[in-house]
Amino acid sequence: MIKALSLAAALAVLPLSAAAQEAPPAETSAASAEAAIEAAAERFEARMEEFGERAEALGADESLTDDQRETRIAALWGEYAPDVQAFTAVVSQHAAQIAGQALAEVDIEAVVVEAMREVNLSGAMAAAGGMAMNGAWASNDPEHMATYGLMADYAIGGALDEVDAAMTEVNAATAEIAADAVAEPAPPAAD
């Protein structure tokens, strides 16, 4: 049963993967997204190096008091803060395209088939069928109802823990794929 709920997490990714597979220019857009991020990173790095040099010069200026240094460095940072925001915006904008490309390469159907195979092998489906056939579920006995209520609460809690764990894995894998896609240089464009 718990493995079946892990399947729910895999199915949650299915619409994203299907949408990504339907977009034919995804490879081109992912490559252009990587190029845009790379170009933005180079501009950002140059600006931050410039900021560092200017901040060091202000820090080394002995004619300034500590308060004056802090004020001037804060004002200097005000000049460079928009660069941080611009770089963050570019990465945020293009990371979704890169993640979509990566998700398009995941065979969701194979993941679902494997999850169902594990569920069937674990006996969870047989156990669920046995519980459903048990006449005690239809009983109005308050003790049975309380017992099965506790069992259901426990099962739901365990299932939710599994879904949370699966979503954490999916989010970590998505972040890793996006980070790898950003880290890998874009393939040369075909002429």
Q: Answer whether 93's CB lies under 8 Å from 172's CB.
A: no
Around 108, how many Cα atoms within 13 Å sit in the side-chain half-sphere? Answer: 19
Per-residue model confidence as pLDDT tens digits over 76-87: 888 888 988 888
Total Cβ atoms within 10 A of residue 141 = 10
pLDDT band at 160 (very low <50, low <70, confident <90, very high): confident
Of residues 42 and 7, the one with the higher pLDDT is: 42
Select, from the ranges 10-24, 30-44, 51-65, 166-180, the one with the highest average predicted confidence (pLDDT).
Answer: 51-65
Q: pTM value? A: 0.41
Which of 3-7, 116-120, 150-154 is predicted with the least confidence, judged by mean pLDDT?
3-7
Task: Give pLDDT, residue 136.
Answer: 59
What is the C-alpha separation between 13 and 119, in angstroms, rounded?
19
Once rounded to an integer, what is the mean pLDDT over residues 35-40?
87
